[in-house]
Structure 1
Amino acid sequence: MGIYFKEEYAKIYELNGDGKVEKFQYEGGDGRVEYLFLKRDIELSEGRYYDITTPYGYGGPLFFPESSEKLTKLISNFREEFESYCKKNKIISEFIRFHPILRNHRFMERYVKTINAGATVYIDLSSEEEILLNMKRTCRKSIKRSMEKGFKAEMDNSNQAWDKFIDLYYMTMNKNNAENYYYFPREYFENMRALLRERALIFKTTYKDKVVSAILVLAGEDGIHGHLHATDPEYYRESPNNILIYTVALWGLKNGYKTFHLGGGYGGAEDTLFKFKSSFNKNGALEFYIGEKIHDHKVYNNLTKLHEKKRPEKKGENLEFFPLYRR
């Protein structure tokens, strides 16, 4: 099971105020399904309603069929029970960020609106030769150049390393003019360390004893994920992240992990960030899908109208956002 499917991970976002962690489980003769999500309150004059969403990252339902022949029936039975659960619990809408490596969107296409939201990149950790072979030549040259200049990368999970990572992370968010949500408070990182323990790791790049870039890596059973990245703006031209990503990949290989998932570009776009990540595996692009489902159209539409009445500037804006009433 990947790190994003663990309740400890979801709990971080409950503590961040993103909703209450719930896990829906289906079990029958055809197999079982586990579906972890955040349930968010919506107060209306006629009562309390909810919507559900994947915690930041990747997720969706996990299917464990008794056999491959029973998978279709398992999905159908799970979804039938889940629809009843949503109706009973006044859930208006459902938003899913599917896992690019597991590709679990394939099992939900008949039941939710699935949308290709771009691409992400992974590194195959089969061997050191495979890691280097899949890299673009410019990436290998950048790593070599960094080593020759004296840049060094290593894992450092000390308190000081976490503090430095957080400082660099805020600097990076400032440079990118990030949305307010992504300025995670320090309590977010403290909760992550407390809940994930050795599964949350800091790797850093140093130059002349100064930390110039860092990455927060989350470790599951088979794969590792580059969760958040941070770089000192003064050192962007020196490409300190190339040697950093390479070091994490080698650590993952040494510790028996099969994949290192880097994520995608900003907002799913194939931008400069995506191109940078792609340089580590020219054959490593993975399609990323999201899922949308309106469970109560009447309340959804009324809530959207109410939202637009309170914030008229939002009407007609960002219509691809889901759910619309949370624009």
Structure 2
Amino acid sequence: MTKTLFIQDKLEWNAYVSKAAEYDFGHTWHYHMLDTSGTPLLFIYENNDGFIGLPLIKRPIPDSAYFDLTSVYGFTGPISSFAMHCVPESLMSEFKSAFIRFLDDGKFITVFSRLHPVFQQTNILQQFGGLYDNGLSVVIDLSIDNDVRRKNYRDTSYHRIKQAWKKGFTVKEEKGPMAVATFSSIYLENMELVGASASYMFNEEYISKLIDTDEYDARILTVYDGDTAIASTVITFTNGIIEAYLVGTRNDYRKHSPAKLLVDEICVLGNKLGMKYYNLGGGLGFKQDSLFSWKASFSDLFLPYSTWRYIANPTAYNALLDERGIDKNSDLDFFPLYRSACMNEQAHVK
């Protein structure tokens, strides 16, 4: 049995997510409701054994009769009633056949999905082809005792945390409009400093909606130097996983690295709440750059991060490239290539 759920199908969408053996906040109805780039949908294939679902965003392809599918900002990929490493071969095979029919009937040319580093989702998607190894994500194991975990910190990071303690910096969990305004002010100041693109400029309205849900636990934590807010983060707690969603530091306090104190305090909180992992993500474009090194100073647990870049209709795909004068053999890390001229519609890795 196949079905496609849309935003109006909130209860059924949530029912499937809650029945999944492994999922994160990026799979929820609420998070997809926030996306304005296209039409959110959840494709489901189900038999007597169980189900496989795949949340996606449907988008029309400009100047054509076709569509493509992408994923929301962050980590998603398929969900199932089975843990990813336990999905029966028969269910995976039937899902593949059903999904290919769905793509053909819907005139979908390509599918792009950012996979979750904690889940073994490639087990389901490898039968299609189109899997790409994008790099590594830094993950902290929260089952480890706090004192033992801190011994795994790089000396420079632990020194910064100790300095923050000595300076009297404090971390507060805050709620309400003022907490959102404080976070947004710090975050946007940070994004402007690094020259981030418009797609990363999340405003107060978006943050307010993001945290206003009972489908996952989203919190704002802020570091204070006395009465001055100097760093802040939005994190999510879902099904045993903490996600470092957004974080920012006041420019005047960057030299003190208060975000390192945030990471440590979040680990302590996660350990207390019985969470399994704190996913910090990777470097810019998931390269092993200075950002990756900063994150790796807290943990040596690196998990592979993959994307799924599937071409469902190669003939139509190549025709679109020809029409737009794009070399199909380009080494540009961008998918689908026919959208590469529209940089504001980026579909490459987060």
Mapping of residues 246-261 of structure 1, within 5 Å: 246-261=264-279
Residue 182 (structure 1) aligns with: 200
- The reply to whether residue 19 of structure 1 matches residue 41 of structure 2 is no
Residue 344 of structure 2 corresponds to none
2:26 counterpart residue number: 4
User: In 1, distance between residues paired with 2:132 and 2:183?
Assistant: 33
Matches within 5 A, 1:110-189: 110-126=127-143, 127-189=145-207
Deviations 1:204-229 (A, max 9, x none): 11112111111110111211101011
Q: Deviations over 1:131-188 (max 9, x none)?
A: 2233222222211111101211121123212111111111111111112211123332
In the other structure, the counterpart of 1:205 is 223
In structure 2, relative to structure 1, the CA distance for the partners of 1:304 and 1:215 (3 Å cut) is same
Contact 1:30 1:66 in 2 (8 A): no
Q: Which residues of structure 2 form unaligned runs of 5+?
A: 1-22, 341-350
Distance 1:114 1:197 in 2: 29
**Which residue identity does 1:321 align to in structure 2?**
F
Q: How many aligned positions are there?
A: 317
Percent identity, aligned pairs only, is 28
Q: 1:316 to 1:175 in 2, by over 3 A?
A: farther
- How far did 1:308 drift? 4.0
Relative distance call for 1:226 and 1:30 in structure 2 (3 A) is: same
Amino acid at match of 1:105: T
Aligned to 1:322: 335
> Contact 2:184–2:203 at 8 Å: present in 1 too?
no
1:305-320 correspondence to structure 2 within 5 Å: 305-308=322-325, 319-320=332-333
1:275 alignment partner AA: S
**Residue type at the aligned position of 1:291:** W
Match of 2:48 among 20, 23, 29: 29
2:219 and 2:270 map into 1 onto residues whose CA distance is 12
Compute the displacement of 1:270 (Å): 1.1
When residues 67 and 118 of structure 1 are mapped into structure 2, their CA distance, relative to the original with a 3 A threshold, is closer
| Paired position in structure 1 for 2:252 | 234
Residues 275/42 of structure 1: CA separation in 2 closer, same or farther (3 Å cut): same
Per the normalisation by structure 1, the TM-score is 0.90
Question: 1:174–1:69: structure 2 CA closer, same or farther, 3 Å change rule?
Answer: closer
TM-score, normalised with respect to structure 2: 0.84
Matching of residue 71 in structure 1 with residue 93 in structure 2: no
User: What's the RMSD between the two structures over aligned residues?
Assistant: 2.3
The answer to whether the 8 Å contact 2:181/2:204 transfers is no
Question: Could you tell me which residue of structure 1 aligns to residue 296 of structure 2?
Answer: 278
Question: Partners in 2 of 1:104 and 1:98 — Cα distance?
Answer: 7
Measure how far apart 1:68 and its partner are: 7.2
Structure number with the bigger relative contact order (C-alpha 8 A, sep ≥ 6) is 1
Separation in 1, partners of 2:217, 2:246? 14
Aligned to 2:105: 88
- Stretches of structure 1 that go unaligned for 5 or more consecutive residues are none
Is the alpha carbon distance of 1:7 and 1:159 closer, same or farther for their aligned partners in structure 2, counting shifts above 3 Å?
same
The AA in structure 2 aligned to 1:39 is K
Alpha-carbon separation, structure 1, partners of 2:96 and 2:161: 48
CA distance in structure 2 between the partners assigned to 1:41 and 1:196 by the alignment: 31
